[in-house]
Each structure stands twice: as structure tokens, then as C-alpha cells.
Amino acid sequence: MYKIQIFILGVFLTFIFIKFFLPFLKKFIIDKPNLRSSHKHLTPSGGGISFVLVSTFLSIFVEGFNFFLLLPLAIVGFIDDKLELPSWIRYCTQVLTLLLVFNDSELHFFVLNNIDDNLLLHLTYLLIIVVGTAIINFINFMDGIDSLIASTLFIMLFLLGLFQSNLSSLILSACLLGFLPWNCPPAKVFMGDIGSTFLGAYLVSLFYENNLINSVFMILIAFPILFDAFVTVIRRLIDRQRIFSPHKLHLYQRLKEGDLSNIQVVYIFSMATLVNCIVYFYLDSLFLLISNAIWVLFGIYLNKSFAVPFKSIKNNFEN
């Protein structure tokens, strides 16, 4: 009963927070559409402040993850939504945040207890931080059309909270559900960097709360959204593009520019995440690998059949 009450409270408080805070965002934090935007009208951003503050407040009353560790990153994200900070400031804040989260995690203790060689230990730390910051930025990159990140992460976090009794995940999923009515297409408000980086960092914290093997399989649950970002970064590196510069080259963006609507794209990624969660909770790890192999093949099919070609969008920006 306590879980139900705190879930309903999270939904309600987030929805109400946005309702009363939206005039401020409309006045001070406006996302103006440009060539690389997926939206066509002036839209307030920074709406992620709602689930950042509400989830942090509610976490005071339950045992679980300390959302306060992510507030410095959220604050920098909120400032960036308004002022567009240099990328090195954003990245350094991400690294410091992940070091704080990692320091008291299960993965940290697992690494310390199982790796004796100092060089290998430091290389493992470096890899874990690089992967962690990559995930934060991947989630940020994928927040390019209405409700995609809010929907997929709501599904993942809600099921984690339900099946693993993870109250922190349940609280954050409730807040995302309260935010979704404002973010569904056409969005009345974007979550902004404050929301996407906060969600990315929390996702990394879930991976840190497992040993090294289980962390890999936790990442595989979020494979559909992470893989799109990963493949796009690799393709842009091959083309010698600046990977942090804005673009519309992700598969989800090219699908929306092609034959699919915003809702259809969100539905595809949400269903892929839902299936991965069900496979993870009810079957073993081999089936999760098979599930993601199927999604890769399906992604190739979508790319060939419905998406605007990668090179055509790239050439449009260059011209």
C-alpha cells in the first residue's frame, strides 16, 4: 500500500509542479527551432526540473538511492538549457557526479575485491567512468523527439520498481508518468538537459549497483535507445564529424523525417524496451541477447524501409 501511495503522490506532484512552473519556463527558457530541430514551434524547455525536484524530495522518505548526488549535474543541465555552457564544463560535471555515485556502489566493491593488479584496476575504473558518461550523453542525444526518453525510461524504471522492489526507480517512474502528459506530442514542454542528464545518471547508478556481469545485462535492457545513439556516434566519427554538435542523424530522427510519425517511433522504442524488460525478468540472459539481436535486425529493416538515408540528411546540413 505504501508503494501505491508514494507512486500516486509522485505522479500528482510532478503534474502539478509543471502546471504552475510552465509560465516561468515559457518566459525564460525557450527552445527555438532550427534546421536540426524536430519541432517547428517555440517550446519551453527545462521541464525536467519537475521530476528532478519531486523525485529528490520523495526519496527523503524511503530507503534507496540518494538522488541528492545527482543535483549538481541537474543544476548544470538547467543552466545549460538557458545559457548553453561549454561542453567541457558539462563533461567534467558528469565525471564528478559519476565518481560520487560509483564510490559507494556495489560495482565499486566488486571491482576492489576481484581485481588485484593496480594497472588493471585503474583501467577498469577508467572504462567504467567512460561508459557511464557515454550513457548520460546517449540519453541526452536520444531526447530529440517528444516523449521518447520519458516513455522508454518510464517503462524500464516502473518494471524495475515493481519486480525488484526498487523504490527509487518506482518514485522516478511515477514522476515521469506525471511529466508525460506535458511531453507527449505535440509537447507543451521539453525536459531539457536538466532532465535528460539526470535520467542518464540515474540509469548509470542502476548499472553501478550490480557486479560487473550483471551491470552488462542491465545495460542490455536499455539496449534499443542506447544502441541507436552508439551506432550514430560511430558513423559520425567515421565521417569525421564533431560528435557533440547538433544533428538529425539518429535512426529515431530519420524515421520521423521519413515515413513514420512521432507516436509510431516512440511506440517502437517503447515496445522494444518493454519486451527486453519482460525477457530480463522472466527468462535468462541468453534470451536477452537474442531479444536484442532481433531488435538490431528490426532496426536494419526500419532503416532501409522507412528512414531518410543517413547520407542525404548529412549532405543537407553540409549544403
Mean pLDDT, residues 142-153 taken together: 96
Burial class (CB in 10 A: 0-12, 13-18, 19+), 318: exposed
pLDDT at position 215: 80
Average pLDDT, the chain: 91
319 pLDDT band, cuts 50/70/90, is low
Cβ proximity of 109 and 209 under 8 Å: no
Number of domains into which the chain is organized: 1
Cis peptide before 224 (omega within 30 of 0): no
Per residue in 179-192, pLDDT tens?
Answer: 999 999 999 999 99
Residue-wise pLDDT for 20-77, tens only, equals 999 999 999 998 876 666 667 799 999 999 999 999 999 998 888 999 999 999 999 9
Q: What pLDDT score does 37 carry? A: 64
Q: What is the pLDDT of residue 284?
A: 77
Report the percentage of the chain scoring pLDDT > 70.
96
Residue 213: give the domain boundaries. Answer: 2-318
Q: Quick one: cell of 313?
A: 540528411
Query: In the numeric block, which cell numbers belong to residue 253?
Result: 530522427
Task: For residue 213, name the pLDDT band (cuts at 50, 70, 90).
Answer: confident
pLDDT at res. 317: 55
For 239-283, the pLDDT digits (tens) are 888 877 778 899 999 999 998 999 999 999 999 999 999 999 888
